Amino acid sequence: ACAPANCALATVVNSLDPGRLPRYGSNKSAVVQGAGLLGIYAVAWLKKRVGFESVYCLDVHPGRLKTAEKFGAIPLLVKGGDEDRLERASLIRERFPRGVDVAVEMTGARQVLSEGIQLLRNGGHYAFAGMVHPDSQLSSLTGEDIIRKCLTIRGAHNYTPWNLEEAVKFLNEFKEELPFESVLSPSSYNLSSIEAAMTEAKAGDHCRVVVDCRL
């Protein structure tokens, strides 16, 4: 349960540094795009460390959304298509008519950009951490989108030593309250079974599949 602090959780700590979130407004609502390990940790961090009231989590994988829910997320299944997107927007804006304070991109999929922008309130903050690959040109974003809504967009790649320190403190502080072990596969593999571990990882049911070199 401690191993993913190195990379995943520390990156979330960097990306969602409370001092960089919106200066004005209630800062009570967020949308996390993606229920992989980064997305799930983002939900936990926003709820427990930053104190957000409502954190929606969007993903195409029902199993991972169930895990995100354990960390405090309001799960929203992405089925695809404009009608589905409009339904999600309607549901979120029913509770937050002006839009959410923060959107968090943890999917690596550039097509989520327009939805994140649309869901943000004026003066909102968009945190980018998942789109670390060449196929990430933001062709759907215009300067007008950013200027008229007075948005802040911040990219965060990896983390600093003090972000890792904060991540370890977070794990320790909430180890009894949050099910950190639920992001891991229930069984471990030894190195001779690495192919089976890779097969399970590709299925996507668990955020991290455990390989124990001691076995």
What contacts 128, CB < 8 A, 6 or more positions away?
A: 15, 105, 153, 154, 155, 156
As given in the structure block, the two tokens for residue 59 are 């993903």
Would you mind telling me the total number of residues written for the chain in this entry? Answer: 215
Secondary structure (DSSP) of 91-140: HHHHH-TT-EEEEEE-S--GGGHHHHHHHEEEEEEEEE-S--SSS---TT
Tell me: the pLDDT tens digits for 174-206?
999 999 999 999 989 998 899 999 999 998 888
3-class DSSP state of 187: strand
Domains defined for the chain, CATH in brackets: 8-155 (3.40.50.720), 184-214 (no CATH)
Distances (CA, A) of 140 to 116, 136, 144: 12, 11, 11
Q: How far, in Å, CA of 5 to CA of 57, rounded?
A: 20
Residue 47 has which token pair?
Answer: 């709820």
Give the whole-number percent of the chain exceeding pLDDT 70: 100
Alpha carbons within 13 A on the beta-carbon side of 148: 7
Task: Provide the residue type at 107 as one letter.
Answer: T
Q: What is the pLDDT of residue 27?
A: 86
pLDDT of residue 215: 53
- pTM here is 0.94
Q: Which residue has the tokens 């104190």?
A: 51
